[in-house]
């Protein structure tokens, strides 16, 4: 007799296909008006040099970055929702988006906003915020209190955000504009080197999250029941928090602040399929990546040659879809 518990296996194949489809769309769509045939030829190394340049050096790294960043944001969102026991948590609740913004804005002010300087400054800012939040949330040795974590994240984020606004208020208009554009998020800032650096950096942290998947299931029951069922709660919380923070800091450094993916993608999957993290985490990675790539394709092509900030597209496209699914689940169309 089959288990009534929904199996993730059934959803992985469609998700993988969707993932591949998003890559295909990302490659063929864009402001340069290339036909799919030209794209295919460019991929094999032939075709016009301009088309080759656009496909191989512009679109391909963007897509790779989108798959990584989208995947990271969705996975950390899912893990954090379990960690703080709140389905409305998202990666930016840790306060590090505020820290990253502050780092970025200071980099612009000090004139070190190069293609490597900006991400480095944003990363440093994010780490600073994480350290403060971690310190605030540590109680009784090295145990993390989830409620304090949540509040500390909000507070530190607000503080950093206020400082950011302050710096912007006394900056000249070019600096303000630079800052605003970076903060709105985009996948064009780092090339292949950035993609590889991000991949190398995130792999261990993603692995750690995968290891803790079952413990995250237990944690959602509550800290005491989790302990009774064999979870080392303090250790799990610490590991998940550190991994999630490092992942999000890197994602923000590479691509600015892209909202909605980290909140909606895991939540959507929870609504559709359930909360077993062994399946939820990989599924979130796939769906988050595909979603961001599609959003970026739309951002590049909707008002070509103009380019929208990708964070705007993720929200505008994501919110209606999310709202429909939310209503369906609340109005009791549970399987």
Partner 1 sequence: MARQRALISILAGVVIATGCRADRQVTASILDDWGRPVVLAAPARRIVSLAPATTELVFALGLGGRLVGRTTWCAYPAEARAVADVGNGIGPNVEAVAAQRPDLVLLYASEANRAALERFEALGMSVAVIRLDLAADLRRAARLIGRLAGDSAAAEVLIASFDSALSAASQAAVPAHRLTARIYVDIEGNPPLTLGSGSYVTEIIRAAGAENVFADLPQPSAVVSLEAIVAREPDFVLAISSDTLRRRASIAGRPGWRSLRAVREGRIVVVPGDLYGQPSPRMPLAVRDLRERIAALWTGGSGAPRRRGAAAQRG
Partner 2 sequence: MSGAALQLERASVRLSPALPRQLDDVSLSVAEGECLALVGPNGAGKTTALRALLGLVALESGRASVFGREIGSWDRSELARSVGVVSQREEPVFPLLVAEAIAMGRYPYLGTWSQPSAADRDAVQRAMARADVVSLEHRWVETLSGGEWQRVRLARALAQEPRALVLDEPTASLDLRHEMELFELVIDLVRRENLAALVVSHHLNVAARFADRLVLMSAGRVVSAGAPSQVLTAETLSSVFGWPVSVSWLSDGTPQLYPERKPLKPLSNQE
Binding stretches for partner 2 (CB under 8 A): 3-5, 82, 85-87, 211, 214, 217-218, 220-222, 224-225, 227-232, 270, 274-276, 334
Instruction: Residue 258: count other Cβ atoms within 10 Å of its Cβ.
Output: 30
Q: What is the nearest approach in angstroms of partner 1 to the Cβ of residue 138? A: 37
- Using the minimum distance from each CB to partner 2, give the nearer residue, 110 or 221: 221
Count of other CB atoms within 10 angstroms of residue 210: 16
**Least Å distance between CB 57 and partner 1?**
5
What secondary structure does DSSP assign to 151-209, as a single string?
HHHHHHHHHHHHHHHHHHHTS-HHHHHHHHHHHT--S-S--HHHHHHHHHHHHHHHHHH
Residue 115 interacting partner from partner 2, partner 1, none (CB closer than 5 to 8 Å by kind) = partner 1
Contact partner at residue 306 from partner 2, partner 1, none, CB < 5 to 8 Å by partner kind: partner 1
Using the minimum distance from each CB to partner 2, give the nearer residue, 117 or 274. Answer: 274
User: Minimum distance between the CB of residue 5 and partner 2, rounded to whole angstroms?
Assistant: 5
Between residues 158 and 221, which has the closer beta carbon with respect to partner 2? 221
Q: How many CB atoms lie within 10 A of CB 229?
A: 12
Write out 8-73 in H/E/C secondary structure. Answer: CHHHHHHHHHHHHHHHHHHHHCCCCCCCHHHHHHHHCCCCCHHHHHHHHHHHHHHHHHHHHHHHHH
* 2 alpha carbon, distance to own chain's centre: 35
Question: Which one, 151 or 184, has the nearer CB to partner 1?
Answer: 184
Q: Which does 26 bind (CB under 5 to 8 A by kind): partner 1, partner 2, none?
A: none
**By the 8 A CB rule, do 143 and 112 touch?**
no
Of partner 1, partner 2, none, which one does residue 57 interact with (CB within 5 to 8 Å by kind)? Answer: partner 1
Under the rule (CB under 8 A), what is the footprint of partner 1?
30-33, 50, 53-54, 57-59, 61, 114-115, 118, 172-173, 177-178, 181-182, 186, 188-194, 300, 304-309
Instruction: Report the C-alpha gap between 137 and 237 in whole angstroms.
Output: 11
Binding partner of residue 227 among partner 2, partner 1, none, CB under 5 to 8 Å per kind? Answer: partner 2
């Amino acid at each position: 007799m089959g288990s009534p518990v929904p199996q993730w296996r059934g959803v992985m194949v469609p998700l993988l296909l969707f993932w591949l489809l998003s890559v295909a769309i990302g490659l063929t769509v864009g402001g340069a008006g290339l036909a799919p045939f030209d794209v295919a030829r460019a991929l094999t190394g032939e075709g016009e040099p301009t088309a080759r340049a656009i496909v191989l050096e512009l679109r391909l790294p963007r897509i790779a970055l989108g798959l990584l960043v989208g995947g990271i944001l969705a996975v950390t969102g899912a893990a954090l929702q379990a960690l703080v026991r709140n389905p409305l948590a998202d990666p930016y609740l840790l306060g590090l988006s505020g820290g990253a913004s502050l780092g970025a804005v200071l980099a612009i002010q000090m004139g070190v906003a190069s293609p490597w300087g900006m991400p480095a400054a944003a990363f440093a800012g994010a780490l600073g915020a994480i350290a403060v939040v971690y310190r605030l949330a540590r109680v009784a040795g090295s145990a993390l209190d989830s409620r304090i974590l949540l509040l500390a994240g909000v507070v530190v984020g607000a503080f950093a955000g206020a400082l950011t606004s302050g710096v912007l208020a006394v900056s000249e208009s070019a600096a303000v504009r630079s800052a605003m554009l970076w903060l709105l998020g985009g996948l064009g800032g780092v090339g292949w080197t950035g993609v590889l650096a991000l991949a190398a950096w995130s792999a261990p942290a993603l692995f750690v999250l995968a290891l803790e998947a079952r413990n995250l299931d237990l944690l959602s029951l509550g800290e005491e029941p989790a302990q009774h069922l064999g979870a080392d709660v303090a250790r799990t919380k610490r590991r998940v928090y550190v991994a999630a923070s490092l992942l999000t800091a890197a994602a923000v450094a590479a691509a600015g602040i892209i909202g909605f993916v980290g909140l909606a993608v895991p939540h959507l999957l929870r609504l559709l399929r359930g909360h077993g993290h062994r399946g939820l985490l990989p599924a979130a990675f796939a769906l988050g990546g595909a979603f961001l790539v599609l959003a970026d394709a739309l951002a590049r092509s909707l008002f070509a040659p103009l380019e929208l900030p990708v964070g705007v597209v993720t929200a505008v496209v994501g919110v209606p879809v999310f709202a429909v699914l939310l209503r369906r689940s609340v109005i009791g169309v549970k399987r």
